Structure 1
């Protein structure tokens, strides 16, 4: 009878793992150095500009393993990340709209790679964002990375 319990336990763990939300942080005031190991003695891979969203995959003491927009994994110091949330536009010429629907009037157009501040999630697969110039509007979840 322990076999069915083991299966039930494994299924519960799998369900818990898949229901966990992604944890995103934003590079803080200074650019972040990404390493191949959780140490400043590790190899430096590249520098990530401030404001860039990174997905936190694992926390190990003062270090976090992160995934970037391209899917690359690396380590960085946790102190260099902020809880502030930003997102990156994934496609060219994406319309940011006044309301959270396809018929909303366009407020501005953002090109691929543009960094936007996440203001608040909205219903129906849209989020409210702010451009660094102060313009705000709604964009589809599928048009951004960092959620």
Structure 2
């Protein structure tokens, strides 16, 4: 999370107020509850882990309406969302490759729901890494967003 000295991940729309329509891809900075309404007293629909990618659909005060790769919607407190870019494997098994091409070696098969941080892009390929510093390339067809 962003620290008082300004270091850490930049928060999306930090000074925005009111209701805003948007379609930004973002990341949950720390584990967060996704709620049924923009209120701490509303029902918790699910809890998502740090790094979980979401699409920000709307802002209402200090809350974002978000949607995940399964098209599930809910509200999350805005300070828990950053612009850091992550992706999630949307297929049963996704091939992590040594380079940005189908002929490059498969380093590892990643399971459905695996979250990876984006390092760079090369056409339809993204260079990614995980929390254990495993690095490789994924084709955009197997990931969300």
**Under a length normalisation based on structure 2, what TM-score does the superposition of the two structures give?**
0.78
* CA shift digits 1:2-53 (9 cap, x unpaired): xxxxxxxxxxxxxxxxxxx941111113x11111111112222221111111
More strand by share: 2
User: Which protein shows a greater Rg?
Assistant: 1
Distance 1:93 1:47, change over 3 A: closer
Are residues 1:23 and 2:19 paired? no
For 1:88 and 1:94, locate their aligned partners in 2 and report how far apart those are by CA, in whole Å. Answer: 10
SS in 1 for 2:104: coil
Where do 1:1-147 residues align within 5 Å?
22-29=23-30, 31-123=31-123, 125-145=124-144, 147=145
Residue-pair matches, total: 124
What CA distance in whole angstroms lies between the structure 2 residues aligned with 1:140 and 1:127? 6
What CA RMSD, in Å, does the superposition of the two structures yield over aligned residues? 1.6
Structure 1, unaligned runs of 5 or more = 1-20
How does the TM-score come out when normalised to structure 1? 0.77
Question: Where do 5+ consecutive residues of structure 2 fail to align?
Answer: 1-21
More helix by share: 1
